[in-house]
Amino acid sequence: MAGKKKEKEFVGSGDESFRKISARDFLSGRIFTREVVVKQLPFFLFLIVLAFIYISNHFKVEKLLKEAAVLNKEIQELRIEAITTSSDLMYISKQSVILQKVNDAGVSLEELTEPPRRIIVRKEK
């Protein structure tokens, strides 16, 4: 039995690519030349692209939310202005207010005391 090769307990257990990683490896850049890291490089690049897409999407959503808040505020101000203008118009169009403004302007108009009459014009054939 001593002549048989010992089977590895784990895959890659004798591999030097799993040796301890030191701070010197990070600083010198040797970590990026290891086979394990090189094999995983496409996955890391994919994760980086996803992170950029996520960040970009987040900024776009924030920009849209800010624009929506500005537009909602503008809508509220325009609604208030429309209500104010409508109430002013209703007040100005009252008969007593119109009569007062005509008298203040010095125009010699008189208020009708009898209702208006309808004039019917018949077409001749």
The CB-side HSE value for 53 (13 A sphere, CA atoms) comes to: 6
Q: Quick check: is 29 in a domain?
A: yes
C-alpha dist (Å) from residue 118 to 45, 113, 115, 122, 123? 86, 16, 10, 13, 16
Burial class, 41, CB count within 10 angstroms (exposed 0-12 / middle 13-18 / buried 19+): exposed
Q: Quick check: is 50 in a domain?
A: yes
Q: Yes or no: say if 113 and 99 are a contact pair by the CB < 8 Å rule.
A: no
Query: Which pLDDT score, from 0 to 100, does residue 23 have?
Result: 80
DSSP H helices, the chain, are 23-28, 35-92, 95-105
46-99 pLDDT, tens digit each: 999 999 999 999 999 999 999 999 999 999 999 999 999 999 999 999 988 888
Q: Quick check: is 110 in a domain?
A: no
Query: Which pLDDT score, from 0 to 100, does residue 7 have?
Result: 57
pLDDT of 4 strictly over 70: no
pTM above 0.85, yes or no: no
Q: Quick check: is 26 in a domain?
A: yes
11-37 pLDDT, tens digit each: 555 555 556 777 887 777 777 777 777
Q: Quick check: is 119 in a domain?
A: no
Cα first-last separation, the chain: 131
| Number of structural domains the chain divides into | 1
Domain hosting 40: range is 22-103
